[in-house]
Amino acid sequence: MALQQEDIKALEQTRQRLLNLTANIASLKADFQRGAPLPEYSSIMTSSSILSTNIQSVTDHLAANSELLSRIVAFPSTNFPGRTQEGLLLQLLRKKLEPQVETWVDEGRNLQIDGAEGGEDIEETWKWAADWIGPRIREYAANEATDEYTWEERASGDVDNVNTGLKDEEDTDDEDEDEEEEDDDEVMGGMGKRAEKKKAKAPEKGVTRKDGRVRTKEEILRFATSGVI
């Protein structure tokens, strides 16, 4: 059966994606070999992310074209350099996987089977976690969120000597007011003058008309609402 144009395009895409994946693996391997002792964490994470993307791309492509790839068989043409490229020719014509690759495939299939069988256990674990986390969050919000001490400090029974670095705002405000009062007493000889200054209100500013007469805000508002000055 002759290959269609779409089949050739799919094969070319397979070759290109495998080439990208191979180059990515080689680059990551070279980074580890050159690193002293290891590459930077950000570089490793970037390379790992690219590698994961390429693997997923190859996997999706092979799954989408599995029917085509399963029926295609490689046959060398008469002008293929079989003597100089014998190793490549044997790789293309072999019908069984290499022993190491076959081991990897078996391990992957076993992991897939184990994952499928353990699906119910994972669901039960998530359900248990969801049922547990709700009441725990409510308990923390109601009883623990406002506590200035840890559980270990509470268990020690000596919370009075624990330096948390925290103070109530009311206590801080009271201390500030006491300090201000003491400063006022020392500088001004008592609170009398300060209290008088606070109680004394500044005269209400008015609006000066063009003829020189001054109208207060109260008079202006009364005129605006009732028309009476």
Read off the pLDDT of each residue in 6-27 and give the average, rounded to a whole number: 92
- Tell me: the pLDDT tens digits for 99-146? 888 888 888 888 777 766 655 667 777 787 788 888 888 887 887 777
CA pseudo-torsion sign 152, 154, 156, 161 = positive
The enclosing H or E element of 206 equals strand 206-208
Cα–Cα distance for residue pair 121/76, rounded to 1 Å: 50
Cα–Cα distance for residue pair 136/56, rounded to 1 Å: 38
Residue that wins the pLDDT comparison between 25 and 34: 25
The CATH fold assigned to 1-73 is Methane Monooxygenase Hydroxylase; Chain G, domain 1 (1.20.58)
Backbone φ, ψ for residue 94 (5° rounding): -70, 145
In the prediction, which pLDDT does 214 show? 64
| 24 close to 51: Cβ distance less than 8 angstroms | yes
In the prediction, which pLDDT does 3 show? 79
Read off the pLDDT of each residue in 67-76 and give the average, rounded to a whole number: 83
In the prediction, which pLDDT does 171 show? 52
In the prediction, which pLDDT does 224 show? 64
Residue 173 pairs in a beta bridge with none
Residue 147 has pLDDT above 70, yes or no: yes
In the prediction, which pLDDT does 22 show? 93
Residue that wins the pLDDT comparison between 108 and 15: 15
Read off the pLDDT of each residue in 45-55 and give the average, rounded to a whole number: 90
Q: How confident is the model at residue 200 (pLDDT cuts 50, 70, 90)?
A: very low
Q: Judging by DSSP bridges, how do beta strands 206-208 and 214-216 pair with one another?
A: antiparallel
Distances (CA, A) of 30 to 12, 114, 141, 179: 27, 34, 50, 67
Residue 197 has pLDDT above 60, yes or no: no
H helices of 65-211, in order, are 66-71, 86-93, 99-117, 119-139, 151-156, 169-188, 192-199
Residue with structure tokens 């690219």? 50
Backbone φ, ψ for residue 216 (5° rounding): -80, 165
Distances (CA, A) of 49 to 25, 42, 43, 44, 61: 12, 11, 10, 9, 18
What is the average pLDDT score of the chain? 75
Residue with structure tokens 């007469």? 213
Domain boundaries, the chain: 1-73
Q: What percent of the chain has pLDDT over 70?
A: 67
Query: How far is CA 151 from its chain centroid?
Result: 29
